[in-house]
């Protein structure tokens, strides 16, 4: 089936399908969303105004049987950071869109009235329907409601109340194979969808298959690729303990931000660790291994049940557990799981919102450690959109300004996640220079700084950090374009067969003749496209900085400050 661009204009309520322009042909995932945003969005526009566009794109290998290839990219100008933004997630949508031949979905304009809509996507294009029944509903009710209206096999992308209220941390949720949720979490893309009055996007199932030019070569490459993933020891640890395996590791390294970034180790780390979580899940008959999309062989997700052995949350990630746990000093996994469930339902980024809670605790709203208080505020304020809820729902920077707190861990107004940059300098380079605000997934130097994957760079030294972050940011931009989960990077860095097999799969899929160098060049070109958009939006190297307190307040146990000189940071873009 020929791939097409699906376009929806919410001002005129019209839709169209268009041939893919040559310029976009070899792109997918983040490469495509960022290129379309750079080509079609006015960089200085208001992110919630009529000139912004929401772009959805499966990766180059999405819809095939390639292991771990089911990630979906969503892009726009971010209302949280003001920069270009891409957030990707698993779930069933990427594979379904790819099979329908949807290369990208572009949603533009704003409705002229106050009516909400649902978009329905099929092989024939998009239809727009007025939506009443699901407005005001949480994400779990939306997924159940769509299931009743259509079938359990339909794909769903939805926003919760946070997106409807255009909170700047609102996410877009994507139904997974078990009708649970995965989130395109960062940067407030749910608010962009809400500004366009699109409550949800329904995707019709199809028996169609993605075209593969050389089936035999593809199968052979996928066998090699899958073996590299399965044999990798970090993949195996992720499959056993989830990403939360990192709590004890990062605590040991002294880089687990604690009590709103005032310390690097948390006394309650054992209570919230991956090992403890694994035992609770097994005892309550949950699932310690689970995949967020069909074909994942790492299976870092899990199903976490409550004390009555009923579903509470899934995709219970280290960064969310850290943020509600160590950063807010909550050492009770059930309180953290309840908060995670509430944030999934409200449709709000669990990193941004939890870091915002830590800042609010410092501002005196709640005592540190009050997990029940956090859940109450999520339920009664954020979910209902009270003035306090809207301040929290607009992120850590918003809370800092409202409560007069100066220790606000954000870069470009996006919350810094679970790795303190003073004790792991490579992460600080990534937070400062990323085109998307502070985001660990943009250049995950933990691999080399802490886990010894792809070499070793001392996390406390200034040496080699810029180069490390740059190389990983380039590689990540390329991986994010393939539809691959970022966790393939551990095998790609450690196993000489992995990356060539990935390139072989792309070549077999499209009948192309790309080399590893071409893939690197793709990553470089994506970063430069994103950087150019940000510069046109008014960002300069002065925005590539960490907050003041990191330069001034040493963090225990290493008693170190952020000491990478600005001139060193500015060398990042010398490529």
Applying CB under 6 A, the residues found at the interface with ligand SF4 are: 68, 90, 291-293, 296, 298-301, 485, 487
Which CB sits closer to ligand SF4, 228 or 408?
228
CA atoms lying within 13 Å on the CB side of residue 450:
24
- Based on its alpha-carbon atoms, the radius of gyration of the chain, rounded to whole angstroms, reads 22
Min dist CB 315 to ligand SF4, Å, is: 7
In the chain, what is the straight-line distance between the N-terminal and C-terminal CA atoms, in Å? 38
Which CB sits closer to ligand SF4, 218 or 487?
487
Which CB sits closer to ligand SF4, 70 or 263?
70
Min dist CB 447 to ligand SF4, Å, is: 15
At 290, list the tokens: 């689970």
Min dist CB 72 to ligand SF4, Å, is: 11
- Where would I find the H helices in 90-214? 93-100, 139-149, 161-164, 189-195
Min dist CB 184 to ligand SF4, Å, is: 13
User: Residue-wise over 340-375: b if at least 16 C-beta within 10 A, else e?
Assistant: bbbbbbbbbbbbbbbbbbbbbbbbebbebbbbebbb
- Where would I find the H helices in 26-181? 29-40, 93-100, 139-149, 161-164
Which CB sits closer to ligand SF4, 273 or 291?
291
Which CB sits closer to ligand SF4, 68 or 92?
68
Which CB sits closer to ligand SF4, 433 or 441?
441
Min dist CB 317 to ligand SF4, Å, is: 8
Which CB sits closer to ligand SF4, 46 or 294?
294
Three-state DSSP at 229 gives helix
Q: Which of 406, 405, 416, 433 is nearest to 352 (CA)?
A: 416
The maximal CA–CA distance of the chain, rounded, in angstroms, is 62
Min dist CB 227 to ligand SF4, Å, is: 16
Structural element, H or E, at residue 74: strand 72-77
Residue pair 209/65 in contact (Cβ under 8 Å)? The answer is no
Min dist CB 440 to ligand SF4, Å, is: 14
Which CB sits closer to ligand SF4, 337 or 485?
485
Show Cβ contacts of residue 360 under 8 Å, excluding neighbours closer than 6 positions: 366, 392, 399, 403
Measured between alpha carbons, how far is 379 from 377 in angstroms, rounded to an integer? 5
Which CB sits closer to ligand SF4, 366 or 489?
489
Min dist CB 101 to ligand SF4, Å, is: 23
Burial of 22 (0-12, 13-18, 19+ CB in 10 A): exposed
Min dist CB 422 to ligand SF4, Å, is: 28
Instruction: Quote the DSSP letter at residue 54.
Output: E
């Amino acid at each position: 089936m020929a791939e097409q661009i699906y376009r929806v204009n919410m001002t005129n309520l019209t839709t169209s399908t268009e041939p893919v322009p040559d310029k976009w042909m070899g792109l997918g995932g983040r490469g495509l969303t960022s290129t379309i945003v750079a080509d079609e969005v006015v960089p200085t526009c208001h992110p919630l105004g009529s000139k912004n566009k929401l772009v959805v794109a499966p990766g180059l290998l999405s819809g095939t049987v390639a292991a771990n290839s089911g990630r979906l990219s969503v892009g726009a100008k971010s209302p949280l950071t003001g920069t270009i933004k891409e957030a990707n997630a698993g779930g069933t949508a990427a594979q379904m869109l790819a099979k329908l031949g949807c290369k990208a979905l572009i949603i533009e304009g704003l409705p002229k009235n106050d009516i909400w809509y649902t978009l329905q996507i099929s092989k024939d294009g998009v239809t727009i329907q007025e939506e009443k029944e699901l407005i005001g509903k949480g994400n779990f009710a939306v997924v159940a409601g769509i299931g009743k209206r259509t079938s359990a096999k339909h794909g769903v992308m939805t926003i919760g109340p946070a997106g409807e209220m255009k909170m700047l941390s609102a996410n877009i949720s994507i139904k997974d194979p078990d009708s649970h949720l995965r989130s395109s979490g960062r940067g407030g893309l749910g608010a962009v969808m809400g500004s366009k009055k699109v409550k949800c996007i329904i995707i019709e199932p199809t028996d169609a298959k993605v075209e593969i030019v050389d089936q035999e070569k593809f199968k052979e490459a996928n066998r090699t690729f899958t073996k590299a993933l399965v044999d990798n020891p970090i993949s195996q640890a992720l499959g056993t303990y989830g990403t939360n395996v990192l709590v004890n590791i990062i605590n040991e390294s002294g880089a687990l931000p604690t009590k709103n970034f005032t310390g690097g180790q948390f006394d309650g780390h054992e209570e919230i660790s991956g090992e403890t979580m694994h035992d609770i899940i097994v005892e309550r008959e949950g699932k310690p291994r689970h995949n967020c999309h069909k074909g994942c062989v790492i299976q870092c997700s899990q199903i976490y049940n409550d004390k009555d052995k009923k579903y509470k949350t899934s995709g219970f990630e280290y960064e969310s557990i850290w943020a509600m746990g160590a950063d807010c000093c909550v050492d009770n996994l059930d309180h953290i799981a309840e908060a995670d469930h509430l944030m999934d339902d409200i449709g709000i980024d669990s990193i941004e919102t939890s870091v915002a809670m830590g800042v609010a605790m410092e501002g005196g709203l709640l005592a540190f450690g009050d997990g029940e208080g956090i859940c109450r505020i999520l339920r009664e304020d954020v979910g209902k959109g009270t003035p306090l809820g809207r301040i929290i729902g607009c992120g850590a920077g918003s809370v800092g300004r409202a409560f007069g707190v100066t220790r606000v861990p954000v870069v470009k107004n996006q919350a810094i996640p679970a790795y303190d940059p003073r004790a792991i300098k490579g992460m600080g380079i990534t937070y400062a220079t990323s085109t998307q605000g502070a985001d660990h997934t943009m250049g995950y130097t933990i691999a080399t700084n802490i886990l010894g994957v792809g070499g070793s760079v001392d996390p406390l030294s200034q040496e080699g950090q810029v180069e490390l972050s740059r190389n990983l940011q380039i590689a990540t931009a390329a991986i994010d374009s393939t539809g691959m989960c970022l966790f393939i990077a551990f095998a790609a860095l450690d196993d000489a067969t992995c990356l060539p097999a990935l390139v072989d799969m792309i070549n077999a899929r499209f009948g192309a003749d790309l080399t590893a160098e071409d893939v690197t060049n793709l990553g470089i070109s994506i970063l430069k496209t994103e950087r150019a958009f940000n510069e046109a939006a008014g960002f300069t190297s002065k925005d590539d900085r960490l907050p003041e307190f990191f330069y001034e307040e040493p963090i225990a146990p290493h008693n170190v400050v952020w000491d990478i000189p600005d001139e060193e940071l500015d060398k990042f873009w010398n490529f």
